[in-house]
Structure 1
Amino acid sequence: MSTEAYGSHHMELRDDGSRRLTFGIVLLPNFTLTAFSGFVDLLRLASDEGDMSRPVRCSWAVVGESTLPVRASCGIQITPWATFEKAGPFDYVVVVGGLLHSGSGASDATIRFIRSAGDGPATVVGICTGVFAMMRAGILKGYRACVSWFHYWDFLERFPQAEEANLVADRLFVIDRRRITCSGGRASIDVAAAILLRHIEPSIVQIALRILLVDDAQKGNAPQPHPLGLKPAAHPKVRRAILLMEQSVGRPMSLEELAGRLDMSVRQLERLFSAETGQSPHAYGRKMRVQTAAWLLTSSDRTVADIATSCGFSDASHFGREFKKGFGIAPIAYRNSQLLNEHTDSSRLATSHS
């Protein structure tokens, strides 16, 4: 598609003669359904009144290389409404990503379409790993970009030429002129709200958020949820080390492997890590794995042995010893105590409402 398709001369008009905002949505293979649906649903609710779902204030279309269905990471398939060649000009081109290491990535035709959008006056929005496709398309040079903390290291590995100072991994989303990038998940609702607030009466956007049971949209500088102890002010090398630990919680890296991934010596890593966190990498990683196990004990019915394996402990006995050091009780006792507390709280709540 030529860049002229994105020319500012194009305008969709509403019945009252005012301008309608237009969105073209590109779904990458194995995209995250939550990110897509959250973004589109806020557009839908803010576009009309009375929950009629009409594209009055804004319109949107799912576009693709072909009209073959695109599979989400959960297995649900979405069929594009139009091909890139037949897609109309848009004010915003939204690229929704998802899984990085499963199946094929964005096709060459998709990358060309994103590049064409970036060369024109459209604002390009990358949600979740959509930022990877934007980088491949070469439209992020000189722009700040938001990358999920979980994929920060993946991004640097794939794009060693990236300007690390322009990468933001501790915020929900970043708006930098005609580039908007979002960490994904529920934050897609926040970034949709931020876009709509540029063009639509704030009260209308607020009503749409309330219908979705969202109290208030988060600002772009709201922090991403991070693994335990990860602070935005931490040294970049330490931040990357912690991200690597989080991604490999089930298969703990050796200090040699971790230092090698960071292009540091083991001694340099230990000194820097201790200065930033007050702990050694080994102690920090063990604490992270124990904390993850504690969460699994209370949020799932998986066996202790299964949790031990998935959190990188050699066996249930090893896990039990490390867990007791951190929490003072055995894993099973911890699970039972948390369940008892939840039951007690529920009983109190029921009594207070009776």
Structure 2
Amino acid sequence: MHRVGLVVFPGFQAMSLAAVSAFEFANLTMERKIYEIRYVSETGGPVAGSFGMTMQTDTFARRGFHTLLIGGGVGIPDSTPDLLRCIRNAARRSRRVASICTGAFLLAEAGLLDGRRATTHWLLAPQLKQRYPQVNVEEDRIFIIDGPTWTSAGMSAGVDLALAMVEKDLGPEVARKVAQLLVVYHRRAGGQSQFSALLELEPKSDRIQHALSYAKSHLRSALTVEELAAAANLSPRQFSRTFRAETGQSPAKAVEHLRVEAARLMMEQTRHPVEVVAREVGFDDRERMRRAFVRMFGKPPQAMRREAPGPV
């Protein structure tokens, strides 16, 4: 059985607990107990969260955990010498150590991120970098795996991190089923930007949101206004008017942003030729993709590939 220890501390954020749902549903999918979850803290007993929630916890067990997972808080968590000692000792007995959101600050304070690549919530990443210059902080990543150390961005990224662990342990098919049970998209890749074109567009209605989700899943299609309008169950004229009113962009510009976002991810995570990337995300040719990259990032795709840290 794979033992997972989730470390909480005073002021922990309840959403960081969502990550363990991936392990719970992995057990349901496999129809047996693959993962055992223990909630642990410095002293054990009740620990108060950030929004009135109290979690009953155990002390750190001597037997250790296969996965030690540090939860996150609304702000930078306070550390104590005893908590850091417990984390260090447990980490030595664990197969992998991970953090959700600001939990990375505890890993860094414990010295477990020294010389490693790591991420955290984009808002606090500059502080992580300033406080711990020995950590190679990458501010714009959903999660990062560096050897046995895993770190993730904001709270929802903890679910992506946990799904990636399930995929590592049990295979992609199980991870896909778990994602379906959780009613989330199959996990976002670790190298994906914390900033999403879908989030930036902020559509107000389910119809426009559905059209954008359809577009993201069918980037190789022409994605004409007529096709997107059909996905939204609106007339082309009504769709174009509603889309611009809700997002402030034309459908064509939004689709270009989605394609550039997908192309950037492929450029960073694979070594496919530029022509292949352009075709896979729906650009007619590499020149059209190059112009779109320059408009969005101020540099061509080849330059962004050279600057990328490589697959995570």
TM-score of the two chains, using structure 1 as the length reference: 0.53
* Pairing 1:46–2:26 present: yes
Q: Distance between the aligned counterparts of 2:187 and 2:145, measured in 1?
A: 15
SS in 2 for 1:62: strand
Q: Would you say how many aligned residue pairs link Structure 1 and Structure 2? A: 208
* Pairing 1:34–2:24 present: no
TM-score of the two chains, using structure 2 as the length reference: 0.60
> Could you tell me which residue of structure 1 aligns to residue 237 of structure 2?
none
Does the 8 Å contact 1:63/1:87 carry over to 2? no
Q: Distance between the aligned counterparts of 1:75 and 1:225, measured in 2?
A: 30
Does the 8 Å contact 2:68/2:97 carry over to 1? yes
Q: Distance between the aligned counterparts of 1:143 and 1:75, measured in 2?
A: 35
Distance 1:209 1:87, change over 3 A: farther
Letter of the 1:71 partner, please give it: A
> Could you tell me which residue of structure 1 aligns to residue 44 of structure 2?
67
> Could you tell me which residue of structure 2 aligns to residue 162 of structure 1?
134
4+ residue segments displaced more than 6 Å? none
Q: Distance between the aligned counterparts of 2:196 and 2:85, measured in 1?
A: 34
Does the 8 Å contact 2:144/2:151 carry over to 1? yes
**Superposition CA RMSD, Å:** 2.9
> Could you tell me which residue of structure 1 aligns to residue 70 of structure 2?
95
Does the 8 Å contact 2:122/2:154 carry over to 1? no
Q: Distance between the aligned counterparts of 2:79 and 2:48, measured in 1?
A: 13
Q: Distance between the aligned counterparts of 2:39 and 2:53, measured in 1?
A: 15
In the TM superposition, what is the alpha-carbon distance from 1:44 to its structure 2 partner? 0.3
Q: Distance between the aligned counterparts of 1:120 and 1:210, measured in 2?
A: 33
> Could you tell me which residue of structure 2 aligns to residue 194 of structure 1?
164
Does the 8 Å contact 1:48/1:57 carry over to 2? no
> Could you tell me which residue of structure 2 aligns to residue 224 of structure 1?
194
Does the 8 Å contact 2:142/2:152 carry over to 1? yes
> Could you tell me which residue of structure 2 aligns to residue 179 of structure 1?
149
Does the 8 Å contact 1:23/1:94 carry over to 2? yes
> Could you tell me which residue of structure 2 aligns to residue 83 of structure 1?
59
Does the 8 Å contact 2:117/2:138 carry over to 1? yes
Q: Distance between the aligned counterparts of 2:54 and 2:195, measured in 1?
A: 29
Gaps of 5+ in 2: 206-240, 247-312
In the TM superposition, what is the alpha-carbon distance from 1:222 to its structure 2 partner? 0.9
In the TM superposition, what is the alpha-carbon distance from 1:119 to its structure 2 partner? 3.1
Aligned residue runs from structure 1 range 1-354, under 5 A: 20-37=1-18, 39-49=19-29, 56-80=33-57, 82-84=58-60, 86=61, 88-100=63-75, 105-159=78-132, 161-163=133-135, 166-225=136-195
Distance 1:99 1:141, change over 3 A: same
Q: Distance between the aligned counterparts of 2:21 and 2:122, measured in 1?
A: 25
SS in 2 for 1:217: coil
SS in 2 for 1:48: helix
Gaps of 5+ in 1: 1-19, 228-290, 300-336, 343-354
In the TM superposition, what is the alpha-carbon distance from 1:129 to its structure 2 partner? 0.5
Does the 8 Å contact 1:173/1:220 carry over to 2? yes
Q: Distance between the aligned counterparts of 2:196 and 2:80, measured in 1?
A: 31
In the TM superposition, what is the alpha-carbon distance from 1:116 to its structure 2 partner? 1.4
Letter of the 1:174 partner, please give it: I
In the TM superposition, what is the alpha-carbon distance from 1:226 to its structure 2 partner? 7.2
In the TM superposition, what is the alpha-carbon distance from 1:108 to its structure 2 partner? 2.2
Letter of the 1:69 partner, please give it: P
Distance 1:200 1:154, change over 3 A: same
